[in-house]
Structure 1
Amino acid sequence: MRKAIIILLSLFLSAIIIVTFLVQSAPLPNKVRNGFDRTILPASFLTPLGNMPTGDSIQLVSGATPTQIFLSTTDPTLILSTDYHFKQSKRIKLALSKGLIDSLQRYFFTIIDSPFVHIYAYNLPAIITLPLSGGPAQVFRLPPGGYSKAYAIAPDQFILRKLDRKISDQQFLKVNTSTSEITVEKNLSTLHQDGGMSTDGSLTYDTTGKKLVYTYFYLNQYFSFDTSLQKLQEGHTIDTSTHSRFQLAEATARNENVLTRQGPDQLVNNTSFVYNGKLFIHSLLKGDHEQAGKFSSNSAIDKYDLHTNQYQGSFYLPVRAEKVRHIYIFNDKMVIEGRDYIYSYVINTRDSVLN
């Protein structure tokens, strides 16, 4: 018995040593040349307004007005409202039935598009809409298959990136909850039958051009499409990550209900946002001649013109890249949602590199 325990411990320690060696010897993406350089623009256009810790209950920044920021919580019935200095806050309770609350569990995200609240129950799957000022909830049930992205283009119209179990991949849908009409894209998404994991990305909306922009997490690509799900343009980010190394684990074949990765893939892009017809992408790759210390202690934001798809330079935000989850522009304010803190800044529009 003792001999068997010693053998098991030896095998366990050997496995740890092998994994450690592989990690240490692997070519980390920002320890080697990535094959591109970025042009750094002066970024003195932000003035801090305040910050607050997220704690365990804050889910995400869910919307804003010119004077208030709305924060959703892990409780689907509770919204927090605060000013941009995070000094004055209040609680907003939503009227949801107990059965609906129980069915949501933690599989939802909430967006406030005043005067409405949209709760995206991505695992049910369903879209729940109710007035922010109070009132009954309307629940629109979707066909089977969860969804990962959602954007409201009108109070009753939504663009979703949703799983189609027949093809084991995600496609974009346009949903009208008033007419119950669901339109499925045609030849908009690249399909790999991996549940949409290798083509995961961020979805944002260009209010100037009335188009949606989808930026891949694992590739140096993005594309735009209109609200009728027609592709408009394709663009590339400045890095050289043209291929994803994503693979499905053999233990979870495509005919199973659960799909997992074979191993970690390299994130190329994090969150993105659109402002004044420009696309801004939080890049996670360092330029070849970029100062390592500067890159590691800030977040590099690359700017692209959505009309020409041309790169127009980059700037740093004073938050470490690994801390950033989302970046928002609300009127003349920037809000950075971090893993531990939420930061707000006022934008000097006259000197802003966002224009």
Structure 2
Amino acid sequence: MKIAPPYREYIIQIVCYLYIILFTYAAVSKLLDFENFQVQLGQSPLLAAFAGFVSIVVPSLELLIVTTLVIPRFKLSGLYASFSLMTMFSAYIFIILNYSSSIPCSCGGILEKMDWKQHLWFNIFFVIIAGIAITLSSLDDKKFKIKNLTARILLCIALSSGLVIGLYASSKQMLQYHNSFIRVFPRMAAEKDQQIDLKYNSFYFAGTSDAEIYLGNYTTPLKVIEFDRDLKKTKSYQITLDRQDLPFQSVQISILSKDFIVYDGSVSCIYIGTTDNWKAQLKFRGDTFISSAEPLDSNTIVFRGLKTSTLTSNLGKYTIRPESFVHNDSLLQKQNDGIFDSDGMLHFDVTSNRIVYIYRYRNQFFSTDKNLQLISRGNTIDTISKAQIKIAKIVNRNQQKMSAPPLVVNKSSTVYHNLLFINSLIMGRFEPEDMWKDASIIDVYDLTNGSYKCSFYIYSEGNEKLRSFRVEGNTLYALVGNALVAYKLSPEITHNYK
């Protein structure tokens, strides 16, 4: 059916007006709420690596297109630009809906009220009417050929979609391996499931077994609280030591399945027992200061200790039968004093048979096998590669102490299967400051290749933030203030288990 020229011009003008209204509204909304727009771009896996650039280019392009649509001689160019930009927006949302779980950027205002499937159909509608307007405008061209017009439209679709796909692939690669410290937050990555009021904030995670979670308590150091995985049933146990005449100062418990150890680094002693009877025997008494220790099995313990001959920290392995000590001095890398600068968190994950160490004051971690042979080293996504600490030496006491509060990079951590979970204290780009007041950030890494996977929030309870946590299966258990809270992890996290 042919359309008379006056009506063609009328339709073209309506399409131009619709685009002028849409792009003006969208651009102004983005600019008025620019910080929020930039934050949401920064949380998108598709555009996160380019969020700073894109947050300026998109509203600028929208306003530029509005200008071309207003000027008659540039109207057709403006329609092609409108068609291409809306195709890009449509491709963006299609990828978000089908290949990502992250929240897309907002166009602001009433468009933000749509769900993303509605938004996709809204965009497709504008792509179609732009295509109609381009076709009607081309009919006045004496050299008009339908195949040439079709080729130009298909080229616009291919280039626009290809650009978005290219940005997605590049951004994903940059975020995983060349991160400029931009976090990606999947939707509903961790959802609160259960919560128990412990009454006190002196509890810590002592360990796990096949079906139980164990908590120790700093104020009653030989008492253990057992919870089932659903936090429905609870029991308490009292550990009995065969020798209690040592000058204990800082007793800690670490449990692995049915085996557990009791150690006090300042006294340099290690007891070993079993959960069958909760009795422990003294197996080691020496002069090595032990800051952390983990059982590998009923006969072997890995620990971080202070080597007295060099006054530096190292990792070691203690075997009971036959008794032996093995140290690996090359694992902990000295930057300053060799003690505080290498402080960190020691983990053993039975599911992967890895020993994992995360530095507290810098963006580094490494993993070893059970014989303390290095498997890999990796970096967290923040940029703190050197421990920012100040050390003062007290000569008359032959001591070293921190002379100023250090910059803590990694507060707490845990390992499950091939994934490393870290509670980071360093704010990334495009992150709302209000969230840092109300929640704690957990970053997730794949130990098999050192790549960053994603991040998620653990919300505070009252004014209390996350103290420590453990992951078992699809559940994250968190100690927040006086509460023990269980969060269900979404498939966006658990599908990374290997």
- Does TM, scored on the shorter chain, surpass 0.5? yes
Mark the CA change 1:113 to 1:232 in structure 2 (over 3 Å): closer, same or farther. closer
Q: Which has the higher contact order (CA 8 A, sep 6+)?
A: 1
State the partner residue of 1:340: 482
Q: 1:226 aligns with which of 369, 387, 394?
A: 369
Which residue in 1 is equivalent to 2:215? 71
TM-score calculated relative to the size of structure 1? 0.80
Deviation at 1:106, TM superposition (A): 3.9
CA contact (8 A) 2:190 2:456 kept: no
Is the Cα contact below 8 Å between 1:302 and 1:314 reproduced in 2?
Answer: yes
Q: Report the CA distance shift for 1:113/1:195 in structure 2 as closer, same or farther (over 3 A).
A: same
One-letter code of the match for 2:226? S
Mapping of 1:60-209 within 5 angstroms? 60-65=204-209, 67-73=211-217, 74-84=219-229, 86=231, 88-97=233-242, 100=244, 102-103=245-246, 105-134=248-277, 136-191=279-334, 194=337, 196-209=339-352
- Residue 55 of structure 1 aligns to which amino acid in structure 2? Y
Distance 1:37 1:192, change over 3 A: closer
Question: What is the rounded CA distance, in whole Å, between the counterparts of 1:263 and 1:201 in structure 2?
Answer: 18
Structure with the higher fraction of residues in helix conformation: 2
Q: Deviations over 1:50-109 (max 9, x none)?
A: 2223516x4412123454332223334322223456554333122225x51x52534111
CA–CA distance in 1 between the matches of 2:304 and 2:338?
11
Name the CA distance, whole Å, in 2 between partners of 1:137 and 1:88: 25
Match of 1:51 in 2: 196
When Rg is computed on C-alpha atoms for both structures, the one with the higher figure is 2
Structure 1, residues 149-169: CA drift from partner, whole Å, max 9, x if none? 211111110111101111111
Whether the aligned pair in 1 keeps the contact of 2:293 and 2:302 (CA below 8 Å) is yes
Which position in structure 1 is the counterpart of 2:401?
260
Pairing 1:41–2:186 present: yes
CA distance in 1 between counterparts of 2:329 and 2:401 reads 26
Structure 2: how far apart are the matches of 1:319 and 1:59? 17
**Are 1:319 and 2:460 matched, yes or no?**
yes
Query: Does the residue aligned with 2:436 lie in a helix, a strand or coil?
Result: helix
Q: Aligned equivalents of 2:363 and 2:337: distance in 1?
A: 19
**Partner amino acid, structure 1, of 2:457:** Y
Per-residue Cα deviation, 1:229-249 (whole angstroms, up to 9, x for no partner): 122211111111122221211
Contact kept, 8 Å, 1:82 with 1:88, in 2: the verdict is yes
Secondary structure at 1:296 match in 2 = helix
- The residue aligned with 1:237 is 380
Shift of 1:203: 1.5
Question: Taking structure 1 as reference, are residues 263 and 175 closer, same or farther at Cα in structure 2, changes over 3 Å only?
Answer: same
Cα distance change of structure 1 residues 322 and 306 upon mapping to structure 2, 3 Å threshold: farther
Judging changes above 3 Å, is the alpha-carbon distance between structure 1 residues 238 and 159 closer, same or farther for their aligned structure 2 residues? same
Question: Relative to structure 1, is the Cα distance of residues 43 and 205 closer, same or farther in structure 2, using a 3 angstrom cutoff?
Answer: farther
Quote how far apart the aligned CAs of 1:209 are: 3.6
Is 1:247 matched with 2:385?
A: no
How much does 1:114 deviate?
3.4
Residues 459 and 465 in structure 2, CA contact (< 8 A), matched pair in contact too: no
Which shows bigger deviation, 337-346 or 151-160?
A: 337-346
Taking a change above 3 Å as real, the CA distance of residues 107 and 258 of structure 1, as seen in their structure-2 partners, is farther
- Between 40-49 and 162-171, report the one with greater CA deviation: 40-49
- Distance of aligned partners of 1:47 and 1:119 in 2 relative to their CA distance in 1, 3 Å threshold: same
Where does structure 2 lack aligned partners over 5 or more consecutive residues? 1-179
Amino acid at match of 2:204: L
Q: What's the offset of the Cα at 1:280?
A: 1.6
* Runs of 4 or more above 6 Å deviation: none
Any idea what SS the aligned residue of 2:402 has? coil
CA contact (8 A) 1:168 1:193 kept: no
204-213 or 144-153, which moves further after superposition? 204-213
Return the alpha-carbon distance in structure 1 between the equivalents of residues 186 and 363 of structure 2: 21
Whether the 8 Å CA contact 1:68–1:82 is kept in 2: the answer is yes
Task: Give the letter for the 1:177 counterpart.
Answer: I
Q: What SS does the aligned partner of 1:267 have? A: coil
Aligned CA-pair RMSD = 2.7
For residues 249-284 of structure 1, the C-alpha deviation after alignment (integer angstroms, 9 at most, x for no partner) is: 14x24x845421011111011112222312221111
Counterpart CA distance in 1 for 2:470 and 2:248 is 27
Check the 8 A contact 2:477/2:485 in 1, yes or no: yes
Distance in 2 (alpha carbons) for counterparts of 1:70 and 1:208: 18
The answer to whether the Cα contact below 8 Å between 2:478 and 2:486 also exists between their aligned partners in 1 is: yes
Displacement after TM superposition at 1:125 (Å)? 0.6
Q: How far is 1:194 from its partner?
A: 3.4
Specify the SS of the correspondent of 2:316.
strand
Q: Note if contact 1:130-1:138 (Cα within 8 Å) is conserved in structure 2.
A: yes
Q: Which amino acid aligns with 2:357?
A: Y
Structure 1 residues 23-64: Cα deviation after superposition (integer angstroms, max 9, x where no partner):
xxxxxxxxxxxx7321222234434212223516x4412123
1:293 match: 434
TM-score (norm 2): 0.58
Q: Residues 199 and 216 of structure 1 are in contact (CA less than 8 Å); yes or no, is this contact kept in structure 2? A: yes
The AA in structure 1 aligned to 2:208 is A
For 1:21, the equivalent position in structure 2 comes to none
Query: Structure 1 CA distance, aligned partners of 2:324 and 2:208?
Result: 29
Contact kept? 1:167, 1:193, Cα under 8 Å: no
